């Protein structure tokens, strides 16, 4: 189902403010890697925000996700102070790993391999 304009607006607001909260809490640059808020999808009732985190060069993304979840109360409080005047109710946050970057890197590797294999085949036909 297509997101409504309001869902998109609230999702974008939460994404921007949550990015700033993560930066202030030191989550954006961790263990030599980076964490960014890839997307925020709101449920139709605006009571839950599904937050997709992109982790670049983080050794254990699942472990990092658990560390973030452990500080959920702190994160939600900081976010609530920032968006409380704009929202009637603070949505529940649910964090997920966004594997889009991993998928892109895997696809790039596959394309490189196909190109290499193709050049070997063309070289054999000469």
User: Token pair 């790039």 is at which residue?
Assistant: 108
What integer pLDDT is reported at residue 102 of this predicted model?
66
Ranges of beta strands (E only) in the chain are: 29-30, 33-42, 48-56, 92-97
What integer pLDDT is reported at residue 29 of this predicted model?
74
Strand order in the sheet with 92-97: 29-30, 33-42, 48-56, 92-97
Cβ(78)–Cβ(21) below 8 Å: yes
Options 3.20.10.10, 3.40.50.720, 3.30.300.20, 3.30.450.20; CATH for 5-98 is: 3.30.300.20
What lies within 8 Å, CB to CB, of 96 at 6+ separation is 50, 51, 52, 53
pTM, entire model: 0.76
What integer pLDDT is reported at residue 21 of this predicted model?
94
Nearest to 16 by CA among 37, 32, 35, 45: 37
Cβ(58)–Cβ(33) below 8 Å: yes
Spell out the per-residue pLDDT of the chain, length 126, in tens: 688 999 999 999 999 999 999 999 887 777 778 888 999 999 999 999 999 999 888 888 899 899 999 999 999 999 999 998 888 899 999 999 987 766 777 788 888 888 887 777 776 655
């Amino acid at each position: 189902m297509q997101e409504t304009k309001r869902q998109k607006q609230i999702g974008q607001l939460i994404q921007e403010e949550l990015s700033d909260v993560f930066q202030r809490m030191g989550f954006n640059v961790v263990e030599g890697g980076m964490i960014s808020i890839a997307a925020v999808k709101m449920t139709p009732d605006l009571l839950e925000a599904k937050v997709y985190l992109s982790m670049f060069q983080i050794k254990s993304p699942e472990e990092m996700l658990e560390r973030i979840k452990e500080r959920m109360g702190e994160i939600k409080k900081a976010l609530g102070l920032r968006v409380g005047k704009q929202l009637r109710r603070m949505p529940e946050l649910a964090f997920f790993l966004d594997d889009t970057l991993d998928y892109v890197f895997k696809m790039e590797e596959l394309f490189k391999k196909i190109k290499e294999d193709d050049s070997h085949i063309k070289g054999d036909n000469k």
